[in-house]
Structure 1
Amino acid sequence: MLVRAEWCIFFFFVVNMAQMAQEDKEKTTALKDLLSRIDLDELMKKDEPPLTFPKTLEEFEYAFNERGQLRHTKTGEAFIFNYREDLHRWNQKRYEALGEIITQYVYERLEEECNLTREILPVDASEDEPKTFIYMSEDALSNPDRLLVLIQGSGVVRAGQWARRLIINDDMDSGSQLPFIKRAIEEGYAVMVLNPNENFLEVEKPAAAVPVSQQEPSPPEGPEEPAEKRERKEEREGGRKKRDFYEKYRNPQKDRETEHIPIRENSSPEEHTLYVWDNFVSRAAARNIFIIAHSYGGLSFVELMIQREAEVKNRVCAVAMTDSVHNVWHQEAGKSILEWLQEVRLCPLLHPSLPPSLSFHLSLSL
């Protein structure tokens, strides 16, 4: 009797498991049927709006007020990053699009308010090769007295900017170089504004043809393949479609593929700083050269010293390094460079030739 009871329990267990397996299979079939009827492209369009954004501040409905603060033209509110909830990638792309407009806006201010002009680099660039530029005052090479050179940090910022985030979230004075440039010009300085992050030309890659070896094979003609083999193939295909589904859900609009073509002799901030020194700063008539190097700009300046130590010592009378990330040990700066830096890396307020207003904006890492 005991053996018969155990067999009954086992039989009940097997039947129950078979029923559960059948139910799972039916659920899977129903899910596949549901997914097959979903227009995935339409679903993605509703989930993430197109990554197309305005091209001007006016189209963005933003403007800088009299205090240099970015404000919405209708609500008067500051910029809101999370414009659409739960769409971080879209919000980030929107922020980047606005940042590109800010870059062009700062260029306009450099040209219209500060009367600076662009100088194309390399100086002997052909018509077809990638180019960059710096900004210079009219007397940058001819002013016999004083020249101020501005070197920004790394990242997305371009000529005339210290920090894009500060321009957008605080004001133009705290995030741009405009107050430095205007006051320097008022006090008789010539000015050069470097552009160390414009290192390459970005171009879109052409669509690559799919190799014949990777193309989907045509279904074989002849006898139908065994059911077991066909089912395994369908399972693999289902797994691939599932992965594609989740990838497209996570990133429905793929970024275009691009390649970077480096700008000759300006393919890094260090190269750019050295190139501008050799072709412009060293040729300037100014008896006193002053440098403000922010963040990675400090590292680029130290690298310049390593490459052109005697020239820099002979021409530069003061350098202000703001939040500099240079490392004289990692960059292998010699003892003579260390001693010179300790001597000339002074607070601008202590040097009679620098505009006193500059010290108000600087936070030096002395």
Structure 2
Amino acid sequence: MPVRASIFLFCLVWITMAQLLAQEEKEKTTALKDLLSRIDLDELMKKDEPPLNFPETLDEFEYAFNEHGQLRHIHTGEPFVFNYKEDLHRWNQKRYEALGEEGYGVIVLNPNENSLEVEKVPDPAKKPSPDASDEPAEKRERKEERENKKKKDFYEKYRNPQKEREMEHIPIRENSSPEEHTLYVWDHFISKSLAKNVFIVAHSYGGLSFVNLMIQREAEVKNHVRAVAMTDSVHNVWHQEANKSIRDWLREHCCNWVSSPEPLDTLVDPMLNDCPRVSAGTEKHELTSWKSFHSIFKFFSDAHKDHEDESSSSPVTTRSSHRIKNEDL
């Protein structure tokens, strides 16, 4: 047999074998997929798995955030361990998800950004024509040179070598002030959310913006907000002309952690009898929120518990009881 013919025959046999092997592998793959499709992997993973009953709070999980904001075990000080139970990935994943569900959705307002800064486009119509001046060219050049030197000295003094630009501020629609921004976020996001219990941290001017929100949306705020933690707030209920019902509500549902040399949570004599004032444990205005972090969340937790207790113990209102109350009034 010629060499070429034998080589051709060998190649033909090799290709045929390869095709048969590929077909066999494909059939095996198809059979495996068919088998897996009939197996409920989720049910298979549940075999010998402990019940998915997990704690509902960080304290019950025995975890807490330390002073550096790190999540640590309250007894061992160790970081969170994902593989709490070996070879039970699904159970560990469910435990991890349960831990991540502290019951809080967070909205961070940005009330200080109320406009966009853009470079002002010069109006060509206002520019004087080079030929409009009656001054001699030499005198005009000396004058321009002096003006340029004056500008250069000014910018060098403040270490700003950039050329002078005239800027203008364009107000953001319906958000042109902190008060407008707070009201906008409340109307479009917070009041429309599914949250049943709203807790607010209001720092500095944020306290004033919240009081303004109460004045504008008193009934809505009282219906949703359970507690307000102010930190070095600059609000003034009298200057803002808050009515008596708002002032009473603030005294009951609000606490202001103010900058003070006293230890954290020490009661501070209020200048105005609007809401309790306690020390934030620092004299630095910008650190009051951070320093009072743990106290604020305890304050929120207590307020939530009180609200739940009141809701569970309140009697069912009937028409007769409602009529008696009206008659008493």
TM-score over 0.5 (shorter chain): no
Larger Rg: 2
Larger RCO (CA under 8 A, 6+ residues apart): 1
**Shorter-chain TM-score: which interval?**
0.3 to 0.5
